Structure formats: structure tokens, C-alpha cells
Amino acid sequence: MTMRSKKALPPVYLFFAIVAMFLLHFFAPLAIVVVYPWLLLGCVPLLLGITLNLSADRAFKKYNTTVKPFKQSTTLITTGVFRITRHPMYLGMILILTGLAFFMGSVTPFFVIPVFAILIEKIFVKAEEKMLADTFCNNWVDYCSKVRKWI
């Protein structure tokens, strides 16, 4: 596999989304929509997002399956945070971005969140769900009937 064919992993997208949010906040804030003390509400989604990511990562390690997108999973995890959402790490990243947008308080950082979610859906979620469906067949279908993709 050449460097050109390798895809950036989700944390890279998260990093660039955070950079974009800061740039928009400092160079094109448009309007301040969240002010102190309300901007402290950003702690809630930020901490929830971090918790989701850490919990999902622990589950991947516990069940000895890959956390990396486009790698073959050996286990379909349906417990813990995976009972709430099929993609807790991506949801966690969106919550982290939401918390940061609240902390910044201006409107433009919020524009990054749906762009990030759409990119993650198109680049990672669709491919991962197809791989999981191919690997786990009826178990995947049963899981999808019980747990939403996002929330």
C-alpha cells in the first residue's frame, strides 16, 4: 500500500476540524451566540465525548478487535456504549467538537460540526457498516434493528 492510497484516520479529521473551528472563531466569528457562564455548558458534551471514546476504546481492547477503520473486525461488540450507538467513537468526536464550539461562543465553529459528521459518515461509517454486515451477517442485522447508527 503506497502512502497515496492510505486514508487519514478519524483523529486526523478531528484535529483538522478543531483547527478549522479555532480559525473560524478567531478570524470570522460572525456573532457571539454563547456567553459566560453559559459557555461552560460545553463541559457536558466535551466530557461525554471523551468518555464515549475511552469506553469504546476499552471495549475494542477487551474484545481484542481492531479500532482502526477498514481493518477486519473479529468481534461484533454490542455491550457497553455500543448498546447506545453503533459508532460511539464518532459520536464522541462530534460531542467533543460541540463542547469546544460552546467554549468558543461564536457561531462559526458550529458550522464545522455538520461538515465533520457528513465526512465521517461518507468516508468511514458507510464502509465500516458494509464490512460489518459482510462479516457478521444476521448478527449485524439483528444489532442494527436494536441500536441506532448515531443516537
Q: Measured between alpha carbons, how far is 8 from 150 in angstroms, rounded to an integer?
A: 22
| Helix axes of 88-104 and 10-27: crossing angle, nearest 10 degrees | 10
Domain that holds residue 141: 10-146
Q: Measured between alpha carbons, how far is 54 from 150 in angstroms, rounded to an integer?
A: 17
Model pLDDT for residues 4-15, shown as the tens digit of each residue: 446 899 999 999
Q: Is residue 66 part of a domain?
A: yes
- The total of structural domains in the chain comes to 1
Model pLDDT for residues 42-89, shown as the tens digit of each residue: 999 999 999 999 999 999 999 999 999 989 999 999 999 999 999 999
Q: Is residue 1 part of a domain?
A: no
Grid coordinates given for 80: 457497553
- Give this prediction's pTM: 0.93
pLDDT value of residue 7? 80
pLDDT value of residue 151? 86
Q: Is residue 23 part of a domain?
A: yes
Q: Is residue 22 part of a domain?
A: yes
Q: Measured between alpha carbons, how far is 100 from 94 in angstroms, rounded to an integer?
A: 10
Q: Is residue 3 part of a domain?
A: no
Q: How many CB atoms lie within 10 A of CB 89?
A: 25
Q: Is the dihedral of CA 139, 142, 143, 148 positive or negative?
A: positive
Report the DSSP beta bridge partners of residue 32: 106
